[in-house]
Amino acid sequence: MKLNFSRNFTPNLTLSQRLSVVFSVLLLACCGASAWLQIRANDLHEEEVVQALSKDLAEHIALSTELITDDGLRPDAVRRLFGQLMVVNPSVEVYLLDKDGRITGQDAPAGSVKRERVDLAPVRQFVDGDPLPILGDDPRSVNARKVFSAAPLRAGGRDLGYVYVVLLGEARARLDARVAASTILRTTLLSMGLVALLGLLAGLMAFALITRPLRRLTEKMRHFDTDAEPTVPPAELQPVLKPQPPDSLDRHDEIVVLEAAFGQMAGRISEQWRALRQQDQQRRELVANISHDLRTPLTSLHGYLETLSLKADTLSDADRRRYLDIALSQSRKVGLLAQSLFELARLEHGFVHPVLEDFSLTDLVQDVFQKFELGAQAKQVRLTANLSTPLPMVSADLAMIERVLTNLLDNAIRHTPSAGSVDVDLRHRDGKVAVTVSDSGPGIPAELHENLFRRPLSFSGPSTGGGLGLLIVQRMLQLHHSQIRLIERAGTGATLYFELPVARF
């Protein structure tokens, strides 16, 4: 069975708490390792110092005339001398070794010697002067190794073996153990605990400072509800939610940069969410208003058709024609509204793509004028085209630009009173053809300027926008990477302006 220890170990801990736990464990481990290394370094230093100071001790013993006669070693003298040395310095243990390393002389208590022979390799290194410390076998232990002093023992020109002196013997080890248990270990543990405590406090303070921006950022992000609106006063969100200028950020602090990035993201999400809510509200109102706008002409159409059906035998020819004219007028109104909505939907959802071709905008304006000539004459509105010559050809979708000019002229004529004028001006400017359509009507009210090219909420009653015609014009020009603008001129009617790219040959 597989266990997830990491999840079970820190089920409810925050990031700061997890970092603190990991840091504490690592700090204790480092302190323990440091204490062990310190004790070990002190032991090695002591061994090196003791061995260096007692380096010639074995040699002095080997040169003693009491140990050797012409007949060889004197066992009684050896035991007496070894006993005296060990009484004077209880930390040393003296042994005689033969040429093979076997112990041939010693004054240790019975049963304390655990080895019969000593490895001579370290002894030869010591005699040859290799760097200290050098550890050799401890005869009173099965596997322990200690610092020593050694010297060859010769008599009558013959090698008899070695004098082998363990410098830190069993008595010294027992004393060191008691002292270490009572003083050194306690001091070391106290020092390690103090260092660990100071390090832990410093680490916790560092973690608190490092994670403070993250905690602040997390707290601010919690205050966003499902509507992406803050539930705390805006002043409290200012440090996070307000995008910071790039020059004011510390680019060397990744958390500060992350905090600023989250603030910008939160601001964009909030703006986009509010825009979506506004669009959704507009869509709901649009559907309701379209239903109302369609219901009125359809109700009128249905009423007149029902009257014609029920009273066909009693109505006069004049009344019948009048009812039919009204019904046809309402039917055309419904048809135009449905066609405009369908065309706008196709434009907004990317179902229509411009087919670019080169054509003369002058000829197109004249053709559009011909379509409105009779209507303008009936309303006594003068149509004027101001064309600069020569005017280059433009590259655009001919049908779309014709629809743009048709909608603009239709709006201008409808809002221009009798004896007024509608002017179309074409100019070549900076590689583009500028088109200006102006009229002498009452102009567009100032309260409609902001929403002039936005989707209207109603099509039959008062509107806060410019109507479907201007919205279709804007969408078609946007497909040509152009924009229509309202030019405000004091004392005149409405003036609309857009540009088209010149054709490249």
Q: What percentage of the chain carries pLDDT values higher than 70?
A: 74
Token couple for 5: 């220890």
Q: Nearest to residue 266, comparing CAs of 215, 223, 232? A: 223
Mean confidence (pLDDT) of the chain: 76
Q: What kind and span of H or E run contains 498? A: strand 495-501
Are 486 and 495 in contact by the 8 Å Cβ rule? The answer is yes
Q: For residue 179, name the pLDDT band (cuts at 50, 70, 90).
A: low
Q: For residue 454, name the pLDDT band (cuts at 50, 70, 90).
A: low
Q: For residue 358, name the pLDDT band (cuts at 50, 70, 90).
A: very high
Q: For residue 250, name the pLDDT band (cuts at 50, 70, 90).
A: low
- CB contact set of 74 (below 8 Å; sequence gap of 6+): 66, 67, 68
Q: Nearest to residue 270, comparing CAs of 226, 218, 213, 215? A: 226
Task: Write down the domain spans for the chain.
Answer: 55-166, 234-288, 292-348, 357-501
- The dihedral through the CA atoms of 303, 309, 313, 317 has a sign that is positive
Q: What percentage of the chain carries pLDDT values higher than 90?
A: 11
Give the pLDDT mean for 486-493: 76
Of the two residues 194 and 256, the one the predictor is more confident about is 194
pLDDT at res. 497: 92
Q: Is the pLDDT of residue 177 over 70?
A: no
Compute φ and ψ for 210, nearest 5 degrees.
Answer: -70, -40
Give the pLDDT mean for 354-370: 92
Q: Is the pLDDT of residue 216 over 80?
A: no
Of the two residues 333 and 251, the one the predictor is more confident about is 333
Q: Nearest to residue 429, comparing CAs of 402, 391, 395, 396? A: 391
Amino acid at 473: V
Of the two residues 142 and 89, the one the predictor is more confident about is 142
Lowest-confidence region among 7-11, 162-166, 423-427, 462-466: 462-466
For the 357-501 domain, the top CATH level (class) is alpha beta
Rg value, the chain, Cα: 53
Q: Nearest to residue 64, comparing CAs of 51, 81, 52, 79? A: 81
Strand blocks (E) in 53-157: 68-69, 72-73, 93-97, 103-106, 135-137, 145-155
Give the pLDDT mean for 493-503: 90
Asked if 55-166 and 357-501 have one fold, the answer is no
Q: What kind and span of H or E run contains 434? A: strand 432-439
The pTM (predicted TM-score) of the whole model is 0.45
Please tell me the distance from the alpha carbon of residue 418 to that of residue 439, in angstroms, as a whole number: 12
Of the two residues 436 and 287, the one the predictor is more confident about is 436
Q: Nearest to residue 484, comparing CAs of 492, 495, 348, 299? A: 495
pLDDT at res. 364: 92
Give the pLDDT mean for 431-456: 78
In degrees to the nearest 10, what's the CA dihedral of 476, 413, 334, 318? -160
Q: Is the pLDDT of residue 234 over 50?
A: no
Of the two residues 175 and 119, the one the predictor is more confident about is 119
Token couple for 500: 């088209």
pLDDT at res. 383: 92
Q: Nearest to residue 324, comparing CAs of 315, 335, 334? A: 315
pLDDT at res. 345: 75
The CATH number assigned to the domain with range 55-166 reads 3.30.450.20
Of the two residues 418 and 447, the one the predictor is more confident about is 418
Q: Nearest to residue 50, comparing CAs of 172, 195, 151? A: 172
Please tell me the distance from the alpha carbon of residue 94 to that of residue 98, in angstroms, as a whole number: 14
Token couple for 255: 């958390």
The CATH number assigned to the domain with range 292-348 reads 1.10.287.130
pLDDT at res. 5: 44
pLDDT in tens, 219-229: 767 766 544 55
Q: Is the pLDDT of residue 459 over 50?
A: no
Q: Is the pLDDT of residue 398 over 90?
A: yes
Ramachandran quadrant class, 430 (left: phi over 0; alpha: psi -120 to 50; beta: rest): left
pLDDT at res. 139: 87
pLDDT at res. 433: 93
Q: For residue 292, name the pLDDT band (cuts at 50, 70, 90).
A: low
Q: Cα–chain-centroid distance for residue 152?
A: 74
Q: Is the pLDDT of residue 435 over 90?
A: yes
pLDDT in tens, 58-69: 777 777 656 665
- The dihedral through the CA atoms of 12, 15, 16, 20 has a sign that is positive
pLDDT at res. 458: 45
Paired sense of beta strands 382-387 and 421-429, if any:
parallel
pLDDT at res. 498: 93
pLDDT at res. 462: 40
